[in-house]
């Protein structure tokens, strides 16, 4: 396998320390990327667009469910039609349930823009599936919170690869009528003595291992987990064992948020990790469901809109990037999905005036406490250089093993 000396040559002392003596994983030649600072990979040499042309009349959007609503799920929830009217770009939306799905769909080349989470964005950049974004062509970029700009998950070497969209935490959803008292800790889903055995639901993706690691980080300090995405052999094994223990208590794993919504409504699952949008949806359908941010903290996402390298509708794509972070649209998405908007001005336009406070929108300090999804790599993300961490390939294999 190739080693990546370029990383050592290019980046600062932190990366130097972290990258020394590490090799890329046995199955992964991707080299290291260090999402705490500069990235240890060389993105393909691609140019950002320098000026906009005429809108091409079409746009294919690949988005998390709830990010590009055109009224087909709920006639009242529609911000895509306004965009179509404004720009004459006809939008077709495809949603995905996991970051991995977004990466493989982007590889098919059929999409113009994608809302990528941190565990997808760097993979897309490294493989050249997305190109740098000229933020000068996105007027609303100016109003985006500064603490979201130029981050390791949306930029490489100061070159921006997209526009921040919003961020939030993976919450613990529960049936208010069937779970009492209300849970306050992730122990409700991990403790083998949980009284809700067989009625627990969990996210069906290798990245869920990080949730177990986060729980262990707080409950078993002697494991020394500093970052749930940087796990050495022992820590990783502990997280995997915890999930194997959890499996008999799981009613089902979900990757389709509608499936989870249905399970919660029917009471086939009474608690488990969820997105706020699932909880909002279940509530709107009359289910007695609520959510809580457990005391251990949570994993979460910080999403970025990116432009496909092979897109033939780049003007429409830029128009979309600008539109979706405009105060009006950003406020609607943030409120519908249940996350913090990226645009500062969106906070004035939410129907619930307290929305931004509830989700700590401008609170950089709070935002730093959420463990955003990021791709685990062999080079430990927490800066340790004396051990090798488990890369995502191994996370994936472990996930198959956990499900058995």
Give CA angle at 336 (330, 78), nearest 5°. 75
What are the angstrom distances between the C-alpha of 202 and each of 35, 236, 239, 249, 251? 26, 18, 14, 10, 9
- Find the shortest distance in angstroms from Cβ 249 to another protein: 10
- Find the shortest distance in angstroms from Cβ 85 to another protein: 33
- Find the shortest distance in angstroms from Cβ 124 to another protein: 8
- Find the shortest distance in angstroms from Cβ 258 to another protein: 11
**Which residue number, 159 or 292, has a Cβ lying nearer to another protein?**
159
Pairing type for strands 171-175 and 271-274 reads antiparallel
The DSSP symbol for 158 reads T
The answer to whether the bond into 181 is cis (omega within 30° of 0) is yes
Is residue 385 a contact partner of residue 17, using CB atoms and an 8 Å limit?
Answer: yes
d(CA 202, CA 221): 24
**Which residue number, 40 or 55, has a Cβ lying nearer to another protein?**
40
- Find the shortest distance in angstroms from Cβ 390 to another protein: 11
**Which residue number, 43 or 166, has a Cβ lying nearer to another protein?**
43
**Which residue number, 83 or 153, has a Cβ lying nearer to another protein?**
153
- Find the shortest distance in angstroms from Cβ 223 to another protein: 24
The DSSP symbol for 289 reads E
**Which residue number, 144 or 378, has a Cβ lying nearer to another protein?**
378
- Find the shortest distance in angstroms from Cβ 32 to another protein: 9
Provide φ and ψ at 399, rounded to 5°.
-65, -40
The contact set with another protein (CB under 8 A) reads 25, 27-31, 33, 41, 98, 100-101, 103-104, 107, 123, 126-127, 198, 205-206, 247, 250-253, 259, 262, 266-268, 375, 377, 391-394, 396-397, 399-401, 403-404
The DSSP symbol for 142 reads G
**Which residue number, 122 or 347, has a Cβ lying nearer to another protein?**
122
- Find the shortest distance in angstroms from Cβ 290 to another protein: 20
d(CA 54, CA 57): 9
**Phi/psi-derived region of residue 95, left when phi > 0, alpha when psi is between -120 and 50, beta in every other case:** beta
What are the angstrom distances between the C-alpha of 117 and each of 59, 302, 374? 20, 6, 8
**Which residue number, 263 or 298, has a Cβ lying nearer to another protein?**
263
**Which residue number, 134 or 273, has a Cβ lying nearer to another protein?**
273
């Amino acid at each position: 396998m190739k080693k990546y000396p370029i990383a050592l040559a290019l980046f600062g002392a932190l990366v130097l320390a972290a990258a020394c003596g590490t090799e890329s994983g046995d199955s992964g030649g991707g080299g290291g990327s260090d999402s705490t600072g500069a990235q240890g990979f060389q993105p393909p040499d691609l140019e950002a667009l320098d000026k906009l042309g005429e809108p091409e009349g079409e746009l294919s959007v690949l988005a998390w469910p709830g990010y590009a609503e055109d009224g087909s799920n709920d006639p009242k929830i529609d911000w895509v039609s306004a965009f179509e009217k404004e720009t004459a770009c006809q939008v077709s939306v495809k949603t995905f349930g996991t970051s991995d799905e977004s990466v493989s769909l982007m590889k098919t080349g059929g999409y113009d823009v994608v809302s990528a989470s941190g565990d997808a964005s760097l993979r897309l950049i490294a493989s050249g599936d997305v190109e740098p974004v000229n933020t000068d062509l996105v007027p609303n970029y100016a109003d985006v919170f500064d603490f979201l700009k130029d981050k390791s998950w949306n930029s490489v070497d100061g070159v921006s690869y997209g526009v921040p969209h919003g961020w939030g935490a993976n919450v613990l959803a529960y049936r208010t009528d069937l779970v009492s008292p209300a849970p306050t800790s992730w122990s409700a889903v991990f403790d083998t003595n949980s009284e809700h055995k067989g009625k627990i639901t969990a996210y069906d993706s290798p990245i869920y291992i990080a949730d177990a690691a986060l729980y262990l980080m707080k409950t078993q300090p002697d494991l020394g987990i500093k970052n749930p995405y940087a796990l050495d052999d022992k820590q990783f094994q502990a997280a995997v064992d915890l999930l194997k223990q959890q499996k008999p208590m799981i009613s089902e794993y979900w990757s389709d948020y509608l499936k989870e919504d249905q399970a919660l409504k029917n009471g086939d699952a009474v608690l488990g990790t969820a997105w706020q949008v699932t909880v909002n949806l279940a509530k709107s359908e009359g289910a007695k469901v609520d959510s809580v941010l457990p005391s251990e903290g949570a994993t979460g996402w910080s999403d970025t809109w990116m432009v496909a390298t092979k897109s033939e509708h780049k003007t429409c794509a830029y128009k979309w990037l600008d539109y979706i972070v405009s105060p009006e649209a950003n406020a609607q998405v943030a409120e519908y999905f249940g996350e913090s908007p990226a645009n500062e001005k969106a906070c004035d336009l939410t129907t619930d005036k307290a929305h931004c406070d509830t989700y700590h929108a401008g609170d950089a300090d709070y935002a730093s406490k959420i463990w955003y999804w990021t791709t685990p790599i062999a080079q430990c993300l927490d800066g340790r250089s004396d051990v090798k961490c488990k890369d995502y390939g191994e996370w994936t294999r472990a996930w198959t093993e956990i499900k058995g």
